[in-house]
Amino acid sequence: MKITRNFIGVLFTSTAILVGSLLAATQGTSPEVGKPAPEFTLKSNEGKDISLKDYRGKWVVLYFYPKDFTQGCTIQARNFQRDLALYEKAGAVILGVSVDSADSHKDFCAKEGLNFKLLADTEIKASTAYGSVREFNGNKLSARNTFLIDPQGKIAKIYLGVQVAKHSEDVLAALAELQKK
């Protein structure tokens, strides 16, 4: 019994430290559910300026991720691509944001066959507005957070410190639930 209690204590402490580290690594405050989503205009992988206001009347899955061509980011993007038809059927668009350049996004989309827009936040303004900036090896990157934005432009749901494996399924389930209201 002692081993079990000790193990649970160590597991709890380790989890608390990990969550605290993730939260401490993220800079800024994310917008609140029910509040207007911060506006932005960013260059897309297609080289065009894209503004959040362009998507009024649609649900928006706005996901921030650290870096093109990395393992977790690739899995996350592939899962969104796999489920793209389900998002479109639900009237939702997917917009990915990182601090990488529009050219990097273009290459990433081509390599992975991505058919949704990736946006270049090279000045880190959108990531900051959404409380989604983190430091890694002295560089600022976008933190892995997702914001589900309703057709009126308000934050409907927030995912902080996303785990990529089942994230797309979780977002689809939340979208379905929110659309019932």
Domain boundaries, the chain: 2-180
Q: Which CA distances in Å does 89 have to 28, 58, 59, 115?
A: 34, 11, 11, 15
Is the pLDDT at 6 greater than 80? The verdict is no
Banded model confidence at residue 27, pLDDT cuts 50, 70, 90: low
* pLDDT tens-digit series, residues 118-129: 999 999 999 999
pTM: 0.84
Is the pLDDT at 144 greater than 60? The verdict is yes
Angle at 38 between CA 105 and CA 120, to 5 degrees: 15
CATH code that applies to domain 2-180: 3.40.30.10
Query: Is position 109 annotated as part of the catalytic site?
Result: no
The residues, any chain, with a CB within 8 Å of residue 18's CB and separated by 6 or more, are: none
Among the listed residues 52, 62, 73, 92, the single catalytic one is 73
Mean pLDDT, rounded, of the chain: 88
The residues, any chain, with a CB within 8 Å of residue 160's CB and separated by 6 or more, are: 23, 26, 30, 143, 145
Is the pLDDT at 100 greater than 80? The verdict is yes
Asked whether 122 and 140 are in contact (CB, 8 A), the reply is no
What values do phi and psi take at 46, rounded to 5?
-90, 0
- pLDDT value at residue 26: 45
Banded model confidence at residue 24, pLDDT cuts 50, 70, 90: very low
Strands (E), 85-132: 92-98, 117-120
